[in-house]
């Protein structure tokens, strides 16, 4: 009976250590994935129309969720301007900011013409007055 208890306890300990190791490796892989040279960072600023109903503004986030469905998207984050200290170099005049990463130039090219992307633009573009895009290829 003692032997069985020892084996069960040892097996549980090994399993816990293995899971911890796998989780740690997954975190390291994720961190490295975000900084691989050649990764494309697609940054988009949106200025929504003046006088939109609060519901329209809240529903606009559906646009980003539609874009998340494009298979070449590595990561997708969006938000509103942060309430940071006003400075001359800070422009918080936008309504929403979108940051999407792609593994390479081919993946962003797929995204640009993907039906999910085009349909989302068609569905939500009536809500904005201005859009600015900046694409960056990471070098380090």
pLDDT class for 140, splitting at 50, 70, 90? confident
pLDDT recorded at residue 73: 98
Is residue 77 domain-shared with residue 124, that is, in the same domain?
A: yes
Answer yes or no: are the C-beta atoms of 106 and 71 closer than 8 Å: no
68 & 1 share domain:
no
Domain that residue 133 falls in: 37-137
pLDDT of residue 4: 53
Contact call for residues 133 and 111 (beta carbons, < 8 A): no
pLDDT tens sequence across 19-62? 334 334 344 444 445 468 899 999 999 999 999 999 999 999 99
User: What phi, psi does 35 have (nearest 5°)?
Assistant: -125, 25
110 lies in the same domain as 78:
yes
Which has the higher per-residue pLDDT, 23 or 103?
Answer: 103
């Amino acid at each position: 009976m003692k032997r069985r208890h020892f084996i069960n306890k040892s097996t549980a300990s090994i399993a816990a250590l293995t899971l911890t190791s796998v989780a740690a490796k997954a975190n390291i892989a994720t961190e490295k994935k975000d900084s691989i040279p050649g990764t494309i960072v697609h940054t988009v600023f949106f200025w929504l129309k003046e006088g939109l109903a609060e519901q329209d503004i809240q529903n606009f986030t559906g646009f980003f969720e539609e874009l998340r469905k494009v298979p070449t998207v590595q990561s997708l984050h969006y938000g509103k301007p942060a309430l940071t200290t006003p400075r001359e170099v800070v422009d918080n005049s936008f309504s929403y900011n979108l940051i999407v990463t792609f593994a390479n130039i081919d993946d962003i090219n797929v995204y640009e013409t993907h039906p999910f992307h085009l349909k989302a633009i068609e569905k939500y573009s009536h809500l904005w007055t201005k859009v600015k895009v900046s694409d960056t290829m990471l070098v380090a």
